[in-house]
């Protein structure tokens, strides 16, 4: 299970407006797993060039400790897209986030551009799934490049395009969300739930996180630092889950030592697939623990 060595917590992924100096300065001190420095939706047209410069300078300055750093660029079909991607290529960021991806060629074009401009192999591509075309094509999109690591749901844009008010239970979005999770998992990719815009509704936010966890998302994208702790809690590993995983692995290893491919734990049949999932829970717990013990930044 070599992939367990690369498990990376993405419980809380905070959008940081690239045109907001205070937000850029504060980001490194926050407990989010990942930070998306946004050059697209959060920045007005007249401020985009200045925001690009500010974000690249902030990323170059470092001091982010355990944070995963992502830059959301503008689309290739805009006047800023190519320059955004060029600046991000050697910025030191961990990933670039492509907005409104609707076909595999967009990802392949970005990957080729990054290679031509000496981006390190470690620079990954994230994509937004936020349009009907993008959702329908996601199975092909997720297979388009080895650089692709993560799918991010753009649920607000998707709901608008579908002409629905998803409501508290997001019933109108569930078919699209399920389809996207299947497409991401088929390629072994992480996938993140969309934002919750009612910032003051803390109980509602926690419920949305719980729903996202139940659906299979790895974490949630956020628009306010006040949402970080709840997302970390819901998408993290509880003590009960940790102990269950440890007990399951012990039962599985004992059965294997007896030459059996099946174990029984508390009346439940345990197979290899259950042991693999338990190993992933332990790997996620250890990755989170390493982050928690990282030196403070700021």
Give the total residue count for the chain. Answer: 298
Q: Return the pLDDT at 241.
A: 92
Q: Which of 178, 172, 240 is nearest to 212 (CA)?
A: 178
Burial of 151 (0-12, 13-18, 19+ CB in 10 A): buried
DSSP-assigned letter for residue 46:
G
Half-sphere exposure of 253 (CA within 13 A, CB side): 8
pLDDT (0 to 100) of residue 174: 97
Q: Please report, in angstroms and rounded to a whole number, the separation of the first and last CA atoms in the chain.
A: 35
Amino acid 293: pLDDT = 67
pLDDT-derived band at 2, boundaries 50, 70, 90: very low
Convert 68-80 to b/e letters by CB count within 10 Å (16 or more is b): bbbbbbbbbeeeb
Lowest mean pLDDT among 70-74, 169-173, 258-262: 258-262
DSSP state of 259: T
pLDDT-derived band at 1, boundaries 50, 70, 90: very low
Q: What is the mean pLDDT of residues 108-120?
A: 97
Average pLDDT over residues 98-111: 98
For residue 64, give every residue at least 6 positions away whose Cβ sits within 8 Å of its Cβ, in sequence order, or none: 27, 28, 35, 297
pLDDT for the residue numbered 294: 60
Q: What does the pLDDT read at residue 296? A: 47
pLDDT digits (tens, 9 = 90+) for 117-127: 999 999 999 99
Using an 8 Å Cβ cutoff, are 19 and 35 in contact? no
Question: Sign of torsion, CA 230 55 70 40?
Answer: positive
Least confident residue range of 172-176, 201-205, 215-219, 283-287:
283-287
Taking CA atoms, 5 is separated from 38, 120, 146, 185, 238, in Å, by: 29, 20, 18, 18, 20
What is the predicted pLDDT for the residue at 266? 82
Q: Write down the H helix ranges in 90-173.
A: 104-116, 132-136, 138-141, 155-162
Packing angle, helices 272-292 and 239-257, rounded to 10: 140
Residue with tokens 């996202």: 212
Nearest to 25 by CA among 57, 3, 66: 57
Output the pLDDT for position 19: 97
Chain centre to alpha carbon of residue 281: 17
Phi, psi (deg, nearest 5) at residue 89: -55, -40
- pLDDT, averaged across the chain: 93
Nearest C-alpha neighbor of 223 from the set 164, 156, 166: 156
Residue 167 confidence class, pLDDT cut points 50, 70, 90 = confident
Q: Which residues contact 285 (CB under 8 A, 6 or more apart)?
A: 237, 242, 245
Asked if the model's pLDDT at residue 298 lies above 50, the reply is no
**What pLDDT is stored for residue 270 in this prediction?**
84
Give, in order, the Cα–Cα distances in Å from 19 to each of 23, 25, 58.
9, 11, 12
Instruction: Decide if pLDDT at 6 tops 80.
Output: no
For residue 77, CA distances in Å to 19, 40, 83, 110 come to: 21, 12, 12, 12
Taking 90 as the threshold, does the pLDDT of residue 59 lie above it? yes
Give percent above pLDDT 70 in the chain: 96
CA distance 284 to 141: 27
pLDDT score recorded for residue 295: 56
Residue 80 contacts residue 74 (beta carbons within 8 Å): yes
Whether residue 22 is predicted with pLDDT greater than 50 in this model: the reply is: yes
Instruction: Output the six-digit token pair for 248.
Output: 């399951």
């Amino acid at each position: 299970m070599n992939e367990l060595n690369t498990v990376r917590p993405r419980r809380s992924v905070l959008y940081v407006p690239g045109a907001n100096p205070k937000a850029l300065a504060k980001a490194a001190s926050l407990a989010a797993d990942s930070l998306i420095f946004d050059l697209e939706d959060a920045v007005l047209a007249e401020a985009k060039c200045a925001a690009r410069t500010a974000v690249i300078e902030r990323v170059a300055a470092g001091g982010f400790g355990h944070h995963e750093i992502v830059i959301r660029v503008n689309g290739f079909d805009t006047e800023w897209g190519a320059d955004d991607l060029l600046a991000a290529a050697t910025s030191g960021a961990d990933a670039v986030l492509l907005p409104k991806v609707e076909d595999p060629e967009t990802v392949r074009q970005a990957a080729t551009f990054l290679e031509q401009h000496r981006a390190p192999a470690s620079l990954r591509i994230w994509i937004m799934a936020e349009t009907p075309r993008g959702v329908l094509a996601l199975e092909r999109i997720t297979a388009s490049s080895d650089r692709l690591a993560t799918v991010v749901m753009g649920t607000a844009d998707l709901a608008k395009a579908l002409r629905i008010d998803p409501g508290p239970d997001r019933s109108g979005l569930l078919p699209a969300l399920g389809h996207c999770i299947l497409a991401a998992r088929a390629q072994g990719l992480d996938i993140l739930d969309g934002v919750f815009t009612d910032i003051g509704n803390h109980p509602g936010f926690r419920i949305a996180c719980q729903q996202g966890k139940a659906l299979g998302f790895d974490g949630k994208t956020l628009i306010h630092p006040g949402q970080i702790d709840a997302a970390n809690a819901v998408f993290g590993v509880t003590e009960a889950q940790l102990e269950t995983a440890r007990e399951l692995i012990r039962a599985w290893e004992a059965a294997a030592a007896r030459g059996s491919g099946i174990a029984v734990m508390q009346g439940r049949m345990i197979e290899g697939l259950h042991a693999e999932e338990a190993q992933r829970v332990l790997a996620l717990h250890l990755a989170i623990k390493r982050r928690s013990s990282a030196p403070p930044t700021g």
